[in-house]
Structure 1
């Protein structure tokens, strides 16, 4: 069994490293986390998940402030990274104690001929415990938490590729499951992680309803997500949910609400040292609100702030996983969309076109939106035939992706085509949109 699979914690070679031994003896968690990253391959977000800390807290500790002195936190770090108790001046941890002898030996012996048909299963008992824990819904383990987080990341991918309509029942079911086990879990470390997972599942459920243009239900789930995140004072995630509510307000033509929510999100992020990437995303959401209100000066100011923060991004930043999508391509296309909303087609069109050239082809819903916006800016520039050709590509994507928001944009484009309805390209596209969108 390899060292990486033998334990979920730090590798034994690192625990035997003189630097690590010295750092542990001094309880210098800045050095411990730095060594875990540099020599153990433990990214700060992985340290955070293992030790039941927020990524921003881990980042602060790695920068030397504040120092960790709380014994509960020290014990969580020992257990999460599998640092033997004696290295940190603690009693032996429960996972260091020898396992009890296996019970019910006669049953195992009777089943031996069947077991020999399978590969050797050294260490498989813990995996079996985790499977049974999931089925029972009562016992939480680090593996269960990792499985839940992995399923969320899979939901993100599938939502981008196919839309949230078909995804919603699974997300709602998992949200209910996590809330149920949260009620039965007393360990404060596990409860914190479960609150974070439930908050993201509630946000994701709200997002699927938002994508379906069921705004009242979406707002209810976003509000639930805020309450769950507030329980653990996860300020960056609170900012994320407020950003979702800001975007929803923009779609509902509530520009002032959108701006207020985006600014509240920025305030929340700053309280916990929001990363440059997160702040860039939040300022872009504010730009959408100003663009919806047709406030040119404020829109450009918010865009400039977004670009300024984005320029401060460093590889050492410990961004939450849920904001890592906001890369240079996303900044570029969002800038183009905000400018397109203002009516500045000349500036918007090349930005959106550039982003579409670099955007992943698997992000079908995003490409559908962005292709629509490219067509819209082309139509603003009176490039009618080119705009219709581009919008036809968005229509092809809309036929694949389950997203009422995309359909609503195409209906909007059909209205924009009315002055050109007698041209062959516009007439053909209008008919195609009607066939798909009603």
Structure 2
């Protein structure tokens, strides 16, 4: 039946109640309707409307004067009251897969313009405004203000996702590129190239987080070009590490390994232990995605060895400060999880999650779903579903297709347990927490 926006769903406590489960199993709709009225506040007239029955017919069922045996009627009751199909001996209903999970990888209808620095940027009106702004004379304080805004963008990206930030980030990138058209004193010129490279990387990251991989790669490539202009090899390593991570999400582990190897080549001279530790962990991800246990463990050991060499006062670039001890630990757990070593992964991820910054909504959602996956792999179904339910709070707070992807993976892993009360509870909370995705038409996708 068509989904009604006024449909009132049954509470999880009722769907997992033993009396309700038994009444549905034997299709005792008199008991079902009485429980729905008493426990969900859905009265006979509402039951009739939601299930496309007449009020008199519902009343007769409740009074024990009529039985409901026809399959189409039973299906209408399942759909109208949102009773999972398996509870009534039906096949899985179409609405049981939350619309929020029916999202495929979003790519542009047409590939973005070539990787030149002016690709995929705002139109003529913005061009003219920024052309006037480009006549200003940037100073060291201008560079500091731009760097501060980038730090703020990254913070808000962690808290809310990057899609809504993208227009501002791209506009600022265009502004800085306008400043680069004129020759400046070397320190200012180098600073502007560095800012532009970081803005391009951040733009690529927002597209990567939205699973729009072609655009992400175009902006990552632009970031590499800008960093190459000033021979900033550590930053080039950082961008290549981002591209390596994207390749793991695209299930291209060989590409991921090649990219992180190139990143390590760029970082061999003049970088810090924290940067080397981050790169070693990205290497571990690539090996784990390939299923190479020995090399994964070797890369993990290297990451921890480098991290132990970190000293206060190290000249770490700002872009790597996020790689702290909880991040090292959770990434170690995820690498083990990718290998299927759930017994090693679970306590590591749980420990890091307990210490993670509450403001990092996306990170908390990612890591909680990884924890739920490892718990499920260890046969801890109730605990896994409880962890996943808790993860829905940060997942709903951030706009991130990658978060949705992790959620989808866990949801699919629950397939053999659809009838278990813990899984029923998770699915009901999922539908209540995550709204359907916004449908986009090709003309609404900014390229």
The interval holding the TM-score normalised by the smaller chain is 0.5 to 0.7
**Deviation at 1:431?**
4.0
**Deviation at 1:430?**
2.7
**Structure 1 residue 249 corresponds to structure 2 residue 247:** yes
1:380 matched residue in structure 2: 377
**Deviation at 1:317?**
1.2
1:324 matched residue in structure 2: 321
**Structure 1 residue 430 corresponds to structure 2 residue 424:** no
Q: TM-score, normalised by structure 1?
A: 0.68
CA distance in 1, matches of 2:390, 2:182: 50
> Does the Cα contact within 8 Å between 2:134 and 2:178 map onto a contact in 1?
no
2:389 matched residue in structure 1: 392
Q: Secondary structure in 1 aligned to 2:267?
A: helix
CA distance in 2, matches of 1:236, 1:185: 24
2:217 matched residue in structure 1: 219
**Deviation at 1:163?**
1.0
Bigger share in helix: 1
RMSD of aligned C-alpha atoms? Answer: 1.7
2:149 matched residue in structure 1: 151
CA distance in 2, matches of 1:195, 1:373: 37
> Does the Cα contact within 8 Å between 2:133 and 2:175 map onto a contact in 1?
no
> Does the Cα contact within 8 Å between 1:134 and 1:144 map onto a contact in 2?
no
1:292 matched residue in structure 2: 289
Q: 2:338 aligns with which of 341, 347, 364?
A: 341
Q: 2:167 aligns with which of 154, 166, 169?
A: 169
Which protein has greater RCO, CA pairs closer than 8 Å, 6+ apart?
Answer: 2
> 1:386/1:134 Cα in 2 relative to 1: closer, same or farther (>3 Å)?
farther
**Deviation at 1:187?**
2.4
> Does the Cα contact within 8 Å between 1:139 and 1:185 map onto a contact in 2?
no
**Deviation at 1:425?**
1.3
Q: Deviations over 1:268-323 (max 9, x none)?
A: 001x3221100000000010011111111111011001011111111131110110
**Deviation at 1:434?**
5.0
2:198 matched residue in structure 1: 200
> Does the Cα contact within 8 Å between 2:134 and 2:175 map onto a contact in 1?
no
Q: Structure 1: where are the runs of 5+ without partners?
A: 1-132
CA distance in 2, matches of 1:432, 1:225: 41
Q: Deviations over 1:21-76 (max 9, x none)?
A: xxxxxxxxxxxxxxxxxxxxxxxxxxxxxxxxxxxxxxxxxxxxxxxxxxxxxxxx
CA distance in 2, matches of 1:254, 1:161: 28
> Does the Cα contact within 8 Å between 1:286 and 1:302 map onto a contact in 2?
yes
> Does the Cα contact within 8 Å between 2:349 and 2:367 map onto a contact in 1?
yes
> Does the Cα contact within 8 Å between 2:356 and 2:364 map onto a contact in 1?
yes
CA distance in 1, matches of 2:368, 2:435: 17
> Does the Cα contact within 8 Å between 2:285 and 2:296 map onto a contact in 1?
yes
Q: Structure 2: where are the runs of 5+ without partners?
A: 1-130, 437-447
2:178 matched residue in structure 1: 180
Q: Deviations over 1:176-226 (max 9, x none)?
A: 000011112432221111000000000000000000000000000000000
1:299-310 aligned at under 5 Å gives the runs 299-310=296-307
Q: 2:363 aligns with which of 356, 363, 366?
A: 366
Structure 1 residue ranges, 4+ long, deviating more than 3 angstroms after superposition:
133-137, 431-435
CA distance in 2, matches of 1:137, 1:248: 37
CA distance in 2, matches of 1:396, 1:186: 48
2:413 matched residue in structure 1: 416
**Structure 1 residue 268 corresponds to structure 2 residue 256:** no
1:119 matched residue in structure 2: none
CA distance in 2, matches of 1:148, 1:314: 28
2:45 matched residue in structure 1: none
> 1:268/1:144 Cα in 2 relative to 1: closer, same or farther (>3 Å)?
same
> 1:156/1:262 Cα in 2 relative to 1: closer, same or farther (>3 Å)?
same
Q: 2:351 aligns with which of 345, 350, 354?
A: 354
